[in-house]
Amino acid sequence: MEHDIWFNGKFAPFEDVKIHLLSHVTHYGSRVLEGIRSFGTETQGTAIFRLSEHLRRIIVA
């Protein structure tokens, strides 16, 4: 999963992700970008700092 990216609600290999030439983002540059930092823990797996705040920003965007 080293080169996978989040696309349409799931992780997909970078090479498999395609965006249609006539899509709005291609012509007008509309997009939503958000970086979410996660940390590995010994007891609870992956922890994401303030996930609900990140998701709220994405939904509002």
- Do 44 and 21 fall into the same domain? no
For residue 58, pLDDT beyond 70: yes
Backbone angles phi, psi at 30, to 5 degrees: -75, 135
Query: In this predicted structure, what is the pLDDT of residue 23?
Result: 86
Task: Please give the C-alpha separations between residue 21 and each of 47, 53, 61, in angstroms, as whole numbers.
Answer: 36, 32, 23
3-state class of 24 per DSSP? helix
- pLDDT band (50, 70, 90) for residue 57: confident
Span 1-51, pLDDT tens digits: 567 888 888 888 988 888 888 888 888 877 777 778 888 899 988 888 888
- Encoding tokens for residue 4? 């996978």
- Do 42 and 17 fall into the same domain? no
Into how many domains does the chain fold?
A: 2
| Residue 41: domain span | 37-61
- Do 3 and 26 fall into the same domain? yes
Q: Nearest CA to 35 among 19, 50, 24?
A: 50
Query: In this predicted structure, what is the pLDDT of residue 1?
Result: 54
- Do 4 and 24 fall into the same domain? yes
- Do 5 and 26 fall into the same domain? yes
Query: In this predicted structure, what is the pLDDT of residue 3?
Result: 73
